[in-house]
């Protein structure tokens, strides 16, 4: 398996751990990009999440935990501001931490 396929597979697994299609429907997440780190990045609707968060990066760390970076991207100036970052997040904590930081509910 080459690096690109590996990165895509990791991105799919991460999205599955978030809840897959249910997560997408509940949060309006879109524009998914697999990161070479490996990880996944996605955008949220503007003015939907707390503190103006409209982009999230989830990166798999070597110790099998995740680093989540919550960002605010200005679509006019393309300025990117990190609003919050946390490391050492286990897969079963992803939804809980996402909900706590963004204020968005991921399941009914």
pLDDT, tens digit, 9 for 90 and up, residues 7-48: 999 999 999 999 999 999 999 999 999 999 899 999 999 889
Look at residue 1 in the predicted model and tell me its pLDDT: 75
d(CA 72, CA 56): 9
Q: Give residue-wise pLDDT tens across range 55-108.
A: 999 999 999 999 999 999 998 999 999 999 999 999 999 999 999 999 999 887
Q: Find, among 27, 21, 22, 30, the residue nearest to 104 by Cα.
A: 27
pTM of the model: 0.93
Sequence-distant (6+) residues with CB within 8 A of 69 are 56, 57, 59, 82, 84, 85
């Amino acid at each position: 398996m080459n690096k690109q396929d590996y990165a895509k597979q990791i991105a799919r697994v991460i999205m599955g751990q978030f809840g897959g299609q249910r997560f997408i429907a509940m949060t309006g997440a879109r524009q998914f990009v697999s990161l070479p780190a490996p990880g996944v990045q996605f955008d949220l609707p503007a003015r939907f999440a707390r503190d103006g968060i409209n982009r999230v990066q989830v990166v798999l760390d070597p110790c099998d935990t995740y680093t989540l970076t919550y960002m605010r991207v200005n679509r006019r100036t393309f300025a990117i501001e990190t609003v919050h970052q946390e490391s050492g997040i286990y897969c079963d904590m992803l939804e809980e931490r996402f909900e706590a930081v963004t204020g968005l509910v991921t399941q009914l």
